[in-house]
Amino acid sequence: MANLESKIPSGALPDKWRKYKAESLKLVNPANKRKYEVIVVGAGLAGSSASATLSELGYKVKTFVFHDTPRRAHSIAAQGGVNAAKNYQNDGDSVYRLFYDTIKGGDYRAREANVHRLAEVSVNIIDQCVAQGVPFAREYGGLLANRSFGGAQVSRTFYARGQTGQQLLLGAYSALMKQAGAGAVEIFPNEEMCDLVVIDGQAKGIITRNLNTGEIRRWAADAVILATGGYGNVFNLSTYARGSNATAIWRAYKRGACFANPCYTQIHPTCIPVSGDYQSKLTLMSESLRNDGRIWVPKKKEDCGKPPAEIAEEDRDYYLERIYPSFGNLAPRDVSSRAAKRMCDEGRGVGETGLGVYLDFADAIKRFGEAGVKERYGNLFDIYHEITNESAYKTPMRIYPAVHYTMGGLWVDYNLMSNVPGLFVLGEANFSDHGANRLGASALMQGLADGYFVVPYTIGNYLAGVKPGSRPSVDGPAFKEAEENVRNTFKRLLAPGTGKGGSVNDFHKRLGKIMWECCGMARTKQTLERGLKEIPALREEYWKTVTVPGSADNLNQALERANRVADFIELGELMCLDALTREESCGGHFREEHQYPDGECKRDDENFAHVAGWEWQGEGKQQIRNVEPLNYETVKMSVRSYK
């Protein structure tokens, strides 16, 4: 069994990271840094910031991205903001408050030490990004502006209208391209990682496929960093970019890296509702809209078909304000999502499908005027109009929860290294900071913290124990075996199937339907057991009947998707298994058997205050569930309440 040793430094919580950097971390001298080569897979916020920073320190860096440019990374889609404990509003914020809100928001299922470090580092992120020219919103006097986000009672979210992810990514991208121009980073676009190479138990390279030519290549390194994002597209319909996938972390899992808490999926409450089977993805309406928008449904079922303007104020149920008066419309995402589902389950949902609630800006327009609302959220209103052909200035938006983020990912220790030495995992690809639920504006914070301020220290601690110049040859047996494994997978996918099962996209839709019904916003023992029967049957059918056109030696997007969907099917099974094993409700993992009478999550701290790290045992075999206990020294576990 894998040893999930967290390697949390000793000492008082506020001092751990500072003292660890100053006293315990081993260093690599500048002359030796030039002798080490690091592979970074992914070039979103975590990947670009890590590549830029490591190369500035002197390491040789190779960056792989399956897009044609890092600017297409999904980080660009983040809208609302990035958290930092600057307390510019003088409203009582602090590093401790951000730490506590994040621990509580994750339903006490995250590591204290990692989260406190994230809160500490947050204050540096803003300074770094301002220095790069990120155009954060500012108050009239020139100071940086803040707004509130769910799960917090202070204003700590820095933003650039509704384009925060885009602006932060352009900042990290500029830092990356500066280093590429200096020859310190080599960027390989349109290269998808298909396997991890492990030699003597340590990560020493990767196998990639060029998406334009089909060429499969071997790459050696002294350490490998995965910053490849989340796996929410296992549900097919989600707010992720359509190309977002789990292949890099899943292939690393098959090489020995433990997969932690795969069942922790975040459902975002403010997405444009599904409108038909033809959709390939869903669109997020930023959580920042909940600062000024009020969420409601009709009190009476018979009013649901009426235009919202015809429903009198006294006939509207502002249910978040009613149920959670302390936080109101800024209740956390998991809490708000389940509340919306309850309203629709009661028959009070709106829209053609009945799966929608209103997000109403009438009060905000009265306060600020239409121009004031447009200044705050104009591009988001434009997106809504493009998709629905409705003006949210004149009629309320219709929203409904959708898959948005995954808190699970590869297990990492305090150094952000997996249980496979030399394999580091950053950003959403790891499980590290969010517990069972991510608070809004924390994803951008984590990606930048990991890349700019954490891994540049901790990777040196690992490399200090690696002999300079000991990088293996790509002609060795481990690389040959890994390449053969990749080639055989593609041969298997291209082998003529019966075609009876439909296209790759058809299988993905079927998997998504199983996942949403069996392991979605609410799970039960019965639905999860059903999923664990249906998914293996779907996998068997997939490999027997799917037909993938074309060949592997050129551009073949059908083959790309087939490769990724094969991994999604296996991952979906592990998610159901993890959710079935975790007999409690916490954050985004809501088991209907485990809830309080008012519908809130009922945790089992005695039996499940731990991280579940799954270890691959081979196809068709029972996977091993390893456990890392979560010990809270500073925060007292309590019933999570926002009322």
Positions annotated as catalytic residues are 333
Residue 222 CA to residue 98 CA, distance in Å, equals 35
Residue at 462: amino acid letter: Y
DSSP E strands, 102-190: 157-158, 185-189
Report residue 364 CA to chain centroid gap: 31
- Candidates 293, 220, 300; CA nearest to 470 is 220
d(CA 97, CA 87): 10
- From start to end of 33-190, where are the E strands? 37-41, 60-65, 82-83, 157-158, 185-189
**How many other CB atoms sit within 10 Å of the CB of residue 590?**
26
* DSSP letter string, 23-46: II-----HHHHTT-EEEEE--SHH
Helix (H, G, I), strand (E, B) or coil at 128: helix
Rounded to whole angstroms, the Cα distance separating 368 from 519 reads 42
Encoded tokens for 624: 């091993």
Q: Got the DSSP string for 197-253? A: EEETTEEEEEEEEETTT--EEEEE-SEEEE-----GGGGSSSSS-TT---HHHHHHH
CA–CA gap between residue 265 and residue 285 (Å, rounded): 18
Amino acid at 585: S
- Beta strands per DSSP E along 521-640: 610-615, 624-629
φ/ψ of residue 399, rounded to 5: -130, 160
| Burial label, 278 (beta-carbon count in 10 A; 0-12, 13-18, 19+) | exposed
DSSP 357: E
Residue 643 burial (CB count, 10 A): 11
Distance between CA atoms of residues 446 and 75, nearest Å: 12
DSSP letter at 91 equals S
In angstroms, the CA 587 to CA 106 distance is 6
DSSP designation for 313:
G
What residues are paired with 39 via a beta bridge? Answer: 62, 224
In the numeric block, the tokens 């430094």 are attached to: 9
Q: Within 13 A of 233's CA, how many CA atoms are on the CB side?
A: 22
Sign, CA torsion 294/299/305/308: negative
Phi and psi angles of residue 57, each rounded to the nearest 5 degrees, phi first: -75, -15
Rounded Cα–Cα distance for residues 34 and 525 (Å): 54
Q: How many CB atoms lie within 10 A of CB 282?
A: 22
Report yes or no: 351 and 398 within 8 Å, Cβ to Cβ. Answer: yes
36, amino acid identity: Y
